[in-house]
Structures are given as structure tokens and as C-alpha cells.
Chains A and B, each alone.
Chain A
Amino acid sequence: MAINYLQPDYEVVRNNDRCIRCRVCERQCANEVHFFDEKRNQMLADETKCVNCHRCVTLCPTRALKIVKTDHCFKPSANYTESIIKDIYAQADTGGVLLSSMGTPKEYPVYWDKMLINASQVTNPSIDPLREPMETRTYLGKKCEDVSYDKTGKLMIRHYPGLQLETPIMFSAMSYGSISKNAHECLARAAEELGIYYNTGEGGLNEDFYKYGKNTIVQVASGRFGVHERYLNAGAAIEIKIGQGAKPGIGGHLPGAKIGADVAKTRMIPEGSDAISPAPHHDIYSIEDLRQLVFSLKEATDYKKPVIVKIAAVHNIAAIASGIARSGADIIAIDGFRGGTGAAPTRIRDNVGIPIELALASVDERLREEGIRSNVSVVAGGSVRSSADVVKAIALGADAVYIATPALLALGCHLCRSCHTGKCNWGIATQKPELYKRLNPEIGYKRLVNLVTAWTHEIKEMMGGMGINSIEALRGNRLMLRGIGLTQKELDILGIKHAGE
């Protein structure tokens, strides 16, 4: 390559009066940005390598560092923006598909932020969650709809296999391989303490984590990595992954470099080989095919575990969800297009799929219209960022939510969106032992517990304000939401009124 057209995005600014040349920044940067110059007796930086992950900034004992966005600029254009130009340069350099990580940074509407929550005033009492009971326990799975009695007149209740959550939040699928073993340990231990579930993702379940089985959802994806009878029976539920919000319609590719001995054993593939998940499940080309897999899995687990089908939010989501609800699945998980990923082609991540808010509202509506809402529970994911988003999702019809990016943030992720490089300085999205030891599960799991506990407190506060004392009473209660700055069409799809109405 004759000329590199790509200039660094960031500048490393070091206050040399504060710098004590302890070289922590140098030792902690897996991208090798910082180095010591003996001639100058000074730390220097090569900002072309900086991904802006803040590891050095956070660990610098004298706060001598900051990373700033460079003001070096192209001639401004609203059409050919800086990122478009840089992407073209990068592709002209490599001839490859652009890769990105985590959720799309593009400015698409965030409908959570265009909905407002109701509260009680005068005519109906609000509830103080500190003084009165507030139920956040949630059950997922098929619900018994009809009432029947036995000969003695006793109520007969049919129970279907389901999940019991102490709060309507679960950690969504992140595979062992895409994230580190320590990160998985944090999720598993936190799920156990919180009485919720974490999800193995498609990478199988490490032998050390079978003990967290009762708080684990085991995933079966198109690559079928690490799937065997004991695995299926190890978890509390089985999830068939059809699609992922960040990359609907395409498979996955975990590079061989990340397949070390332990990951290889867990995934049941040779060490160093690329783990390629096909775009479709090659045995699923219709709802009938899906039904076969659902029942194969139920058969393998003696009809004791609920089966989740996870799909990406795409254009015909309502019809697809209706099909899934009739396939024998107990839970449908919908993943919106702003959701995260360990690696996805940039163009797919930034252009394919639809927002979770619209998908969730239309699925809930459709299932109600068809009278099959009780056949399944609906779990919404793909950019649920706060307890307010959780409350809005439940009011739109979700039974529970899946969170992943907030969980990673709690573990130290700084959203530098460089997971695909495998050099995560925070020890999360990496398989390098010297890097993942940076995530101490003892600290990490506690931070996850704190996060979900804090959200649960806030959910209770908001429910109390609305005069509602259980998740059950909030679910699908769209009168508790009002739109702001939305068109009539958007309001119709969300099934909510505009603020002031």
C-alpha cells in the first residue's frame, strides 16, 4: 500500500505535568498505543491504533490522559459524510466486507425516547413501593387459558413448562467465544443471585458452568455448536436462535484465532478452526420445519423445558411471530435492529431490520387479534437501555426483556465497538488469558447484580407512580404510554395515543 488514506479518529492528550511515567497505560493497552521514549523521558502515543476504549484513561493514577475526537476534518458534506468517506477508503484498501461490533451508532429514531409514562394524580392513588408490596415476579411460557373443574368441583390447573423470573429482565445470548469465560461467569453468578436467567449463546456451555444450569438458557443456533443431550438438559430452557437483531438474515463467523483449546472443546470443533454459523438453519425452511425442531428438543428434554424461538425484528415480524406461536414454541424472543453483536458486517448492522418498539407492538397486537397471545410469552431485546425502557416494553406487550449491552457496560465495556478485533482491553470480548483475567468475576458479578437490582427498584417506583402493583397489570397496558413527536402512523403501530390525548 503506497499511501494510507485513513487518518486516526482520536487523539491521545497527555498532560505531561501530571504524567509520572508509571507506564500503566503502556502495559494495559492491548493495541500498543502508548510507549516510553527514553530520549525525551516521556510517554508518547501512536493514535492510529487507538480504539477509544478508555482503559488507559481509567487506570491512569494521576488522570493525566484523555482521548478526544480529532478535529482534523474533511470538507463538510451532509451527503458524503466523514464516515462514508472513511469506509470507502477502508474498502479500497482491503477489498473486504466492513466489520463492526455492538449496536448501530446511526441516528435512527429511538422510539423508547418518544414515549412517555403515565402517573396517578388525585383520581386514582399511586402506590409507595417502599411501604406496599410490589410484584415484579414474572412467569414465562404458555399459559393455561380455559378453566375446568374435576368431578368434585376442584379447579384443575394445567401447568406448562415455564420460567420464573424474580424481575422481568434476562441477560441475552452472548456466546462463549464472543465473550470471555470470566464474562460468562459474571453473567451466570449474577443470574443465580438475581433469580433470573442468562443465555449461553450458540457456543455451548463450558463444563465449569453446568452448576448454574437452573439459571441458564441454552441456545441452539444454526451452527449447532456444543449441542448434545446433556447440554440441552443442563439449562432451564432451550432457545432456538433463528436470527439476531444486529444481523438479521446472516450467520456468524467466529475466527479460528478465537477458538482456543477450551472454546474448541465447548463448541465441539477442532482447535483453531473457524466457527461458521450458516445464515439459515438448514433443517428449517418453514414453520412446519420449525415445529419439528421445537418438538425434537422437547422430546430430548422430556417435555420439561420451555422452548424459546429467537428472531430478529424484520418487516413481516407479526406474521412470522404468529407462525412461531403456532409451532409449539413457548416463548418468542424478538431482537430489534439496534441490538449489539460481537461482529457483524457494518452495512447489515446499520441497514437491516426494524426497531424493537414497533416490532414488539405489532407482534403483541397480532397475537391478541388471533387469540393466541396466551400460547406464548414475548421477550423483547435489542437496545433496552434503562429501567424506563423496560417499563415501556412491558406496557407495549412484552412479558420480559433481554439485556446484553447494559450488562457488558456494567462489566466495564466502554462501547468502543472493537469486539471483532479480539483485543478487548476490558477482558470481555477476548479469549486472550492475559486480557480476560482483567475481568475479575468477583467484582463483575456484583456489578451486574447491582445494575439489575437498581433497575428493579426503578421499575417498582414507576409502576407505583402509575398505581400499578404488579408486572402482570402493566403488561400490554398501552394506556400507560403516550407518544411524543410521533406521526399518526407510528402511533397506530405502537397502539398508543399522543401526549395530551
Chain B
Amino acid sequence: MKKVHVNEDKCLGCRLCEYWCAFSHSGEKYMPDAFNLQKPPVPRIVVEENDKITFAVACRHCDDAICVKSCISGALSKQADGTVLVDESKCVGCHTCVLVCPFGAIRMDEGKAVKKCDLCLKTGGVPSCVQHCPNRAIVYEER
């Protein structure tokens, strides 16, 4: 399946992916509103940074997803197409998935359901982080 991959040698650490991800999942139409009129939304992709090495990390949609196994409420599930999605109405906020994910790809959102990459399936097409990466470090492809 097509997934979001990051080419570390091209990642600039600008963090635009984080902001576009957060905005595209915020439901707002005007980007400044997503961040300036409310508590800034949580991005589902995060740039890891150590001095001059930077790379964005998002959910790998693992074949044998440990987060799905660990989910106590059945909120996380593996879809037929291979994506790992969270049903926000079922999440009880126990954060076990956050703890077990070896990539740190699941994010806590205070008082709300956990947030993770959904490949922008609802908005369709290419994930927002991929579309807006200025150096094409983030790609959406089969590997």
C-alpha cells in the first residue's frame, strides 16, 4: 500500500508538514484561524531533530500493528486497505498505544482521543504533508 515515507537526506526540518497536517485536520478553511483562534491543533506527523539531522515521522501503518493489539477499547483497527485508523468515538484516552508505538507516531491530545496519521483519506488524494513539503522530502508511494 501507499504510505507516507520521509527521505532523511532531503528533510530540512522546517516543520511545515506539522503545521499543514494540523491545519488540514482542523476543519478550518483559513490557516491562521486553525492556530490563532483556538488552541493549536495537534499534528499527526512530527519532525525529529538532533542538531543538524532532521526527519519527519508519521505512522508506518505496520502490517502487524502493535498499537492495534494494545488498544483496550478497540478504537484502533487495521482496515481492509491496510491503513491503521483510530475511531475517535471509541478512544478512552488510556494512551497505551502512545506507549507501545516504537516510532512515537501516535500523539496525545489533551482530554481528547489520540491523534495519528490517517493518510488524509477523508480529504482524498495526496496527504497534506506530502503536498506541502518544500523539498519533496516527504513522499507518498509504495515501497
State the A residues within 8 Å of B (CB): 17-24, 27-28, 59, 61-62, 64, 433-434, 437-438, 440, 442-443
A443 touches B35 (CB 8 A): no
* A434 to B, closest residue via Cβ: B52
A27 touches B15 (CB 8 A): yes
Q: Say whether, besides A59-B134, A440-B10, A440-B136, A20 and B35 are in contact (CB < 8 Å).
A: yes
A437 CB contact (under 8 Å) in B9, B19, B31: B9
Number of A-B pairs whose CB atoms are under 8 Å?
55
One digit per residue, 1 when the CB lies within 8 angstroms of any chain A CB and 0 when it does not, for chain B 1-30 equals 000000001101111101110010000000
Interface size for B (C-beta < 8 A) is: 23
A22 touches B15 (CB 8 A): yes
B20 touches A61 (CB 8 A): yes
A22 CB contact (under 8 Å) in B10, B16, B136: B16
State the B residues within 8 Å of A (CB): 9-10, 12-16, 18-20, 23, 31-32, 34-36, 40, 52, 132, 134-137
* B49 to A, closest residue via Cβ: A27
The answer for the CA separation of A61 and B10 in the assembled complex, in Å, is 19
Q: Say whether, besides A20-B19, A28-B14, A438 and B135 are in contact (CB < 8 Å).
A: yes
B136 touches A61 (CB 8 A): no
B12 CB contact (under 8 Å) in A18, A61, A437: A437
Smallest CB separation, A230 vs chain B (Å)? 28
Interface pairs (20), CB distance under 8 Å: A20-B19, A20-B31, A20-B32, A20-B36, A20-B40, A22-B35, A24-B14, A24-B15, A24-B16, A24-B19, A27-B14, A27-B15, A61-B23, A437-B9, A437-B10, A438-B12, A438-B135, A440-B136, A443-B135, A443-B136
Smallest CB separation, A341 vs chain B (Å)? 27
The answer for the CA separation of A433 and B16 in the assembled complex, in Å, is 20
Q: Kindly list the 3 A-B residue pairs having the minimum CB-CB distance in the complex, ordered from nearest.
A: A20-B35, A22-B19, A434-B52
B15 CB contact (under 8 Å) in A17, A23, A434: A23
Smallest CB separation, A59 vs chain B (Å)? 6
Residues of B within 8 Å of A19, CB to CB, are: 32
Smallest CB separation, B101 vs chain A (Å)? 25
Q: Give the most central of A17, A59, A62: most B CB within 10 Å.
A: A62
Residues of B within 8 Å of A17, CB to CB, are: 32, 36
B10 touches A59 (CB 8 A): no
The answer for the CA separation of A19 and B36 in the assembled complex, in Å, is 8
The answer for the CA separation of A442 and B136 in the assembled complex, in Å, is 9
B32 touches A18 (CB 8 A): yes
Residues of A within 8 Å of B12, CB to CB, are: 27-28, 437-438
A62 touches B32 (CB 8 A): yes
The answer for the CA separation of A226 and B74 in the assembled complex, in Å, is 64
The answer for the CA separation of A214 and B142 in the assembled complex, in Å, is 34
A433 CB contact (under 8 Å) in B23, B34, B52: B52
Residues of A within 8 Å of B32, CB to CB, are: 17-20, 62, 64
Residues of A within 8 Å of B9, CB to CB, are: 437
* A23 to B, closest residue via Cβ: B15
B135 touches A440 (CB 8 A): yes
